[in-house]
Amino acid sequence: MKARAFDYRRVASVAEALDAYAACEGEARFLAGGQSLLPALNLRLDAPDLLIDIGRIEALRGITLEGDQLRIGALTRHAETLASELIAAHAPLLTQAAAYMAHPAIRNLGTMGGSLALSDPASELPACMRALGAELEITGRDGTRRVAADDFFLDLFENVIEPGAMLTAVRVPLPAPGTRMRFEEIARRRGDYALVGLAAQLVVTGATVESARLAFCSVGPTPMRAPKAEAALVGRPLDAAAIADATAALADDLAPDEDEGFSAAARMQLARVLLGRVLSALMTREHGEMAA
């Protein structure tokens, strides 16, 4: 398990990183936390000619409030996500999710941008971005654009980032009054990839669910929204009947694949149970009710 030989270059700015990528005659990869890329290199599943280390680009760091959005730099480590007071105040879904993300050693190095750019549907952050209705900032040599999380993920490990461009930040809208958020997952061992995970964001006004965003991990090629289950919740009180309707509707939303050791039926069962449990928890305000 030794990587094939590659060139390595550390860059100081996004522009320098993009130029280095463009100048590379072979295959180049951006290296951030390296928690997925380095194992892939050692397993020789990937063998680029050049690694561009973006880990010290200051512009990619930082968590800031910008207007009605929370901007989180792509180099934000999972440990920082877990500890950030700004994130806890405005996007507690991410704080909850970060506690499920692997183990401390991995959280100390793994980054927000790296996880999203990899687009592993079993990871927590892609589902969170969809549940939060976030925008992702992609920077190429021709400038920066923003893509809605719902439009970002294309397929297993595939997204809309063009070769040579880079995910530079995510922008999470500040929550409306009455927003409730909850992340939970079911994994065989603490810190494992989820068998099923759910990022849920509801806006509840008075007794009525105004909007619902449910995004699942590990049940499809991308983080999966559950539109039928969401529709079953909207416009009515969040009660046992609504939850029963939502979990029943889930069968029309998700079609998880069979994979070794876990059948599609078992995964679907876990998704239903998880949805029921998360929604039940969200019935009480203590769970994720945002300050108005």
The residue with tokens 């929550």 is: 175
Nearer CB in complex with other proteins: 106/234: 106
The single residue among 56, 235, 273, 284 that binds other proteins, judged by CB under 8 A, is 273
> Which range in 106-114, 125-133, 220-228, 269-277 contacts other proteins by CB under 8 A?
269-277
Site for other proteins in 227-266 (CB under 8 A): 260-263, 265-266
Please state the closest distance from residue 266 (CB atom) to other proteins, in A.
Answer: 5
Q: Is position 5 an interface residue for other proteins (rule: CB under 8 A)?
A: yes
* Bridge partners, 143 (sequence order): 140
Please state the closest distance from residue 261 (CB atom) to other proteins, in A.
Answer: 6
Cα separation, 215 vs 56, in Å, equals: 32
CB neighbour class for 164 (10 Å; exposed up to 12, middle 13-18, buried from 19):
middle
3-state secondary structure of 87: helix
Closest CA to 137 of 51, 60, 225, 215: 60
State residue 29 phi and psi, 5-degree precision: -135, 140
Closest CA to 22 of 11, 32, 33, 38: 11
How many residues of this chain bind other proteins (CB under 8 A)?
A: 25
3-state secondary structure of 201: strand
Please state the closest distance from residue 11 (CB atom) to other proteins, in A.
Answer: 25
Q: Is position 146 an interface residue for other proteins (rule: CB under 8 A)?
A: no
Cα separation, 147 vs 150, in Å, equals: 8
Nearer CB in complex with other proteins: 163/189: 189
The single residue among 2, 25, 45, 67 that binds other proteins, judged by CB under 8 A, is 2
Instruction: With residue 64 as reference, give the H or E element that holds it.
Output: strand 63-66
Q: Is position 4 an interface residue for other proteins (rule: CB under 8 A)?
A: yes
Binding mask 172-191 for other proteins (x = CB under 8 A): --------------x-xxxx
> Which range in 2-10, 104-112, 149-157, 197-205 contacts other proteins by CB under 8 A?
2-10
Q: Is position 269 an interface residue for other proteins (rule: CB under 8 A)?
A: yes
Cα separation, 288 vs 180, in Å, equals: 5
Q: Which residues bind other proteins (CB under 8 A)?
A: 1-5, 43-44, 186, 188-193, 195, 260-263, 265-266, 268-270, 273
